[in-house]
Amino acid sequence: MYLLNIFETWWNEFNNSFYNFSPTLYNNFASFPFFIQLSILFIAIAFFTTVVTYLRLAIRRAVGYYKELRKQQYTPIIEQLISDATIMNEELHSGMQVEDIKLDKHVVAFEKELPIKRKYIRQIVIDDMMHYKKIFFGDAVLLLKQLFIDLNLQKDALAKLHAFNWERRVKGLRELARMEVTVQDVNILPLTNSRNYFLRMQARSCYIRISKNEPFKFFDILKEPLTKWDQIDLFEIISTTPNLNIPNFSRWINYSANNSLVSFCLKLAVYFNQQDAIPSIIELLKTKDHNLRAEAIITLGQLQADEVEDMLCDMYNNEPQICQVAILKMLGLTASKKHTDFLAKQLQYSSEYDIKLTAARSLIAHNEATKNLLDDLMQHTSGLTQAILKHSLNPLIKY
């Protein structure tokens, strides 16, 4: 009833304004039955929104096309100018030290050949420089970074940090991080606590590269789950930042209640081969989360912690399948030859395909040490076991 009242009031309002707009049209309109009136109204709305949408799309297309043309026009010039200042720099080729090279004449060239004061030109230059940085490193890139600052492009990036749209702020952060510009904490710390999840994560990950103070501080306060994508992004920054002070990740493996962070730290511990994280990882085996436990087991294998193999074999029978597969995989990673019989037993007597396959692969990973055992198994087994052995032994089947 309430809705009906609202509709009635609105309908009367509409009729009144239509009448005020044009009495003749309104009289025509009012002569139609109610259903037709409603239909005409909705057709008008639909028609209007369609036309507006088409116009917007057409305008957007036209603008995009024009921008693309503009970009194509200036890109070759920009690429030439950047090359001349960096990779093809005369002074660099003549053997001068990078620190002594001045880029003034190149900056002048930029100002002469491009409308460098225009924002869109500067953005194209920044994008090109970021592309350069992905392809090259070394002295040429040191010059590139110098050029970035001499052209005052870091101002554009910093300005983005205060933009209205969060994705522009993220873009600014990434530009600063990619070009390795040091940024004052006051500019970036507020962003690391932003309410917007994406901005927050990007700020934290860029903080690692562009701040000099305690880059991994936010690991301590991270309460929300770290998505796989964030891990990929963080991993890329951590593994490519020069001179980064790498902490001992066992700190968080031990004490963090955030399982996704613990999982990420396990991967980092492997990447940086942190042998002293092994005791914490062994402690982690007590966790109730199966997936995390399985990951910890595999990490121990990747760190070659063969001292823990006996314990793992003892707990094998009480573990869910995912952890059993992890234990078998771990034995293959360490290839310590101490548990080949155990592996052979699992291969022969388990009825699960995944278990058999992992056991077979781990046996094969021992190379020469298990050659005789494998030949023996091949001759004396049949059915699925033998099929899996043949499958795993075939060098063409890698997975």
> Is 150 a residue that touches another protein (CB under 8 A)?
no
Distance, CA of 309 to CA of 326 (rounded, Å): 12
**Which parts of 43-62 interact with another protein (CB under 8 A)?**
46, 49
**Which parts of 270-329 interact with another protein (CB under 8 A)?**
271
In the complex with another protein, which residue's Cβ is closer, 158 or 170? 170
What character string, x for contact with another protein (CB under 8 A) and - otherwise, covers 100-139?
Answer: ----------------------------x--xxxxxxxxx
Give CB contacts under 8 A, 24+ apart, made by 151-158. 151/107, 151/110, 151/116, 151/122, 151/125, 153/122, 153/125, 153/126, 153/129, 153/179, 154/179, 154/181, 156/119, 156/122, 156/123, 156/126, 157/126, 157/181, 158/183, 158/187
In the complex with another protein, which residue's Cβ is closer, 27 or 227? 227
CB of 203 within 8 A of CB of 215?
no
CB of 275 within 8 A of CB of 303?
yes
Query: Among the candidate windows 7-15, 247-255, 288-296, 387-395, which touches another protein by CB under 8 A?
Result: 387-395
* Residue 216 structure tokens: 């991994």
- Total residues in contact with another protein, by rule CB under 8 A: 56
Please report, for residues 292, 343, 363, the alpha-carbon distance to residue 346 in angstroms, rounded to integers and kept in the order given: 23, 5, 11
> Is 35 a residue that touches another protein (CB under 8 A)?
yes
Q: Report the SS3 class of residue 395.
A: coil
> Is 235 a residue that touches another protein (CB under 8 A)?
yes
**Which parts of 200-229 interact with another protein (CB under 8 A)?**
202, 224-225, 227-229
DSSP 159-215: HHTT-SSHHHHHHHHHHHHHTT----HHHHHHHHT-SSHHHHHHHHHHHHHH--S-T
**Which parts of 332-351 interact with another protein (CB under 8 A)?**
none
In the complex with another protein, which residue's Cβ is closer, 33 or 100? 33
Q: Is 324 left (phi over 0), alpha (psi -120 to 50) or beta?
A: alpha
Which of 126, 140, 277, 308 contacts another protein by CB under 8 A? Answer: 140
DSSP 259-325: HHHHHHHHHHHHHTT-GGGHHHHHHHTT-S-HHHHHHHHHHHHHTT-GGGHHHHHHHGGGS-HHHHH
> Is 22 a residue that touches another protein (CB under 8 A)?
no
In the complex with another protein, which residue's Cβ is closer, 141 or 308? 141
CB of 350 within 8 A of CB of 359?
yes
> Is 42 a residue that touches another protein (CB under 8 A)?
yes
> Letter for the amino acid at 142?
L
> Is 174 a residue that touches another protein (CB under 8 A)?
yes
> Is 394 a residue that touches another protein (CB under 8 A)?
yes
At its nearest, how many Å lie between another protein and the CB of residue 188?
16
> Is 11 a residue that touches another protein (CB under 8 A)?
no
At its nearest, how many Å lie between another protein and the CB of residue 157?
12
Distance, CA of 123 to CA of 350 (rounded, Å): 61
Query: Among the candidate windows 150-158, 168-176, 243-251, 332-340, which touches another protein by CB under 8 A?
Result: 168-176
When computed from its CA atoms, the radius of gyration of the chain, rounded to whole angstroms, is 32
> Is 79 a residue that touches another protein (CB under 8 A)?
yes
Q: Report the SS3 class of residue 75.
A: helix
At its nearest, how many Å lie between another protein and the CB of residue 318?
23
In the complex with another protein, which residue's Cβ is closer, 338 or 391? 391
Residue 89 CB partners (closer than 8 Å, separation 6+):
101, 140, 143
> Is 170 a residue that touches another protein (CB under 8 A)?
yes
At its nearest, how many Å lie between another protein and the CB of residue 310?
29
At its nearest, how many Å lie between another protein and the CB of residue 153?
17
- Residues in touch with another protein (CB under 8 A): 35, 38-39, 42, 46, 49, 79, 83, 87-88, 93, 128, 131-141, 165-167, 170-171, 174, 198, 202, 224-225, 227-233, 235-236, 267, 271, 353, 357, 384, 387-388, 390-391, 394, 396-399
